[in-house]
Amino acid sequence: MKRSVNSADTMVSLAQAYLAERRCLGFDLKISGHVLMNFARFADALGQRGPITEDLTLTWAHSTPSERAITWARRIEVIRPFAKYLKQFYPDTVVPRRDLCGRAHRRLAPHIYTEQELGELLTASVAMLPVGSIRRLHMKRCLD
């Protein structure tokens, strides 16, 4: 579904074409499609035609009321594939750096339970089991 592009194309029409092509390939893109269309409307409101610039992407990412860098980074993450797509029509398009606003995902440090905490959890779990359940007796025997 190759399309030709001209300078009169709006960012919304380019985003719609991109989303249609990706959806034909089997991608759902509900959330990212919604976010991308927000970007396209933002760009059109600024009168942006042609290639995506890093400045435009950064301005849009920061236009959200959130002050959390992870929110901005996730917005950048949605724009990257679209910018790669547009690069075939507008070679001057800048694909924003993945780390432009920091990391889009963070891995929380796991909590490793101490023996005391495990004991407290098991003791509390005995109280949570249904009254009259054989599991209660089994759990109690495991704790002893």
Measured over the CA atoms of residue 95, residue 96, residue 97 and residue 99, the dihedral's sign is negative
Q: What is the pLDDT of residues 3-34, one digit of tens each?
A: 555 656 888 999 999 999 999 898 888 888 88
The share of the chain scoring above pLDDT 70, in percent, equals 74
Q: What is the pLDDT of residues 120-136, one digit of tens each?
A: 888 887 777 666 666 65
H helix or E strand, kind and range, residue 18? helix 11-24
**pTM assigned to the model:** 0.63
Q: Which residue has the higher pLDDT, 24 or 100?
A: 24
**Cα–Cα distance, 53 to 122 (Å, whole number):** 56
